[in-house]
């Protein structure tokens, strides 16, 4: 029993140490088999919900909207399947599971794109890495030659982010990236304590 407890303690301490550096997650959209589909919760298992605010597609025009990696991007171009009406708006992405400490993506647009982050009470957060992220992530045809600009936002606890552009304009996002809030070591050690107490109680029952 003592060896088992020692092993469990060592394992949890190692896990606690590594949890302080939670792995960054990158969604490149290239693993998705089908394109031209609304993106909702297809990537929730990875920790992100796209709220039906974008569609996944092959780059609408590779010369003007080049991808950062692979062939797929998400686009703020939405098509109503009943009326075929085309609308362009913001892309909202929510955290699923732990909050994020950083979120961002490689953006190309027909005008400046802004990335804003919010908490669960819909309060706008302050970007710890600078002002709210706005970039001249423009297409080649506008002469800016700044495609795939990485816009990112850092805050202690991000519930969701919004990529926005002036109404009527188009933009794409590739390689959406986020870093989950790490599990505190104290929580893991508390779980260990409960496990050890349970084993001791079972021994005397």
Q: Tens-of-pLDDT digits for all 205 residues of the chain?
A: 444 444 444 444 333 443 444 589 999 999 887 788 889 999 999 999 999 899 999 887 888 888 999 999 999 987 776 887 888 999 999 999 999 999 999 999 988 899 999 999 999 999 998 777 888 778 767 766 788 999 999 999 999 999 999 888 999 999 999 999 987 644 444 444 444 444 444 444 4
With a CB cutoff of 8 Å and minimum separation 6, the contacts of 59 are 65, 66, 67, 71, 72, 73, 172
Q: Decide: 103 and 93 in contact? Cβ < 8 Å.
A: yes
What distance in Å separates the CA atoms of residue 98 and residue 74, rounded to the nearest whole number? 23
Got the DSSP string for 91-146? EEEEE-SS-EEEEEEEEEESS-EEEEEE-TT-PBPP-TTSSSEEE--B-GGGT---
User: What is the structure's pLDDT at 194?
Assistant: 43
Quote the pTM value: 0.78
User: What is the structure's pLDDT at 143?
Assistant: 64
User: What is the structure's pLDDT at 36?
Assistant: 82
| H-run or E-run covering 174 | strand 171-180
CB atoms within 10 A of CB 33: 5
- Eight-state DSSP code of residue 46: G
What distance in Å separates the CA atoms of residue 156 and residue 170, rounded to the nearest whole number? 30
User: What is the structure's pLDDT at 136?
Assistant: 76
67: exposed, middle or buried (Cβ count in 10 Å: 0-12, 13-18, 19+): buried
Structure tokens at 36: 């031209």
- Eight-state DSSP code of residue 190: H
User: What is the structure's pLDDT at 133?
Assistant: 87
User: What is the structure's pLDDT at 199?
Assistant: 45
User: What is the structure's pLDDT at 60?
Assistant: 76
Q: Decide: 142 and 65 in contact? Cβ < 8 Å.
A: no
Backbone Cα Rg of the chain: 21
């Amino acid at each position: 029993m003592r060896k088992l407890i020692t092993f469990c303690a060592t394992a949890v301490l190692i896990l606690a140490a590594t949890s302080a550096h939670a792995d960054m997650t990158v969604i490149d959209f290239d693993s998705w088999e089908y394109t031209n589909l609304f993106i909702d919760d297809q990537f929730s298992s990875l920790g992100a919900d796209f709220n039906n605010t974008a569609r996944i597609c092959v780059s609408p025009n590779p010369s003007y909207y080049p991808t950062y990696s692979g062939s797929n991007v998400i686009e703020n171009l939405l098509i109503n399947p009943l009326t075929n009406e085309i609308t362009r708006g913001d892309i909202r992405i929510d955290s699923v599971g732990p909050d994020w400490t950083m979120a961002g993506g490689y953006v190309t647009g027909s005008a400046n794109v802004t990335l804003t982050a919010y908490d669960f009470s819909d309060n706008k957060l302050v970007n710890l890495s600078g002002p709210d992220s706005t970039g001249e992530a423009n297409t080649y045809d506008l002469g800016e030659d700044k495609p795939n600009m990485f816009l990112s936002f850092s805050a202690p606890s991000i519930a969701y982010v919004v990529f926005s552009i002036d109404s009527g304009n188009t933009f794409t996002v590739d390689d959406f990236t986020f870093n989950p809030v790490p599990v505190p070591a104290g929580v893991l050690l508390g779980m260990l304590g409960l496990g050890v107490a349970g084993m001791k109680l079972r021994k005397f029952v």
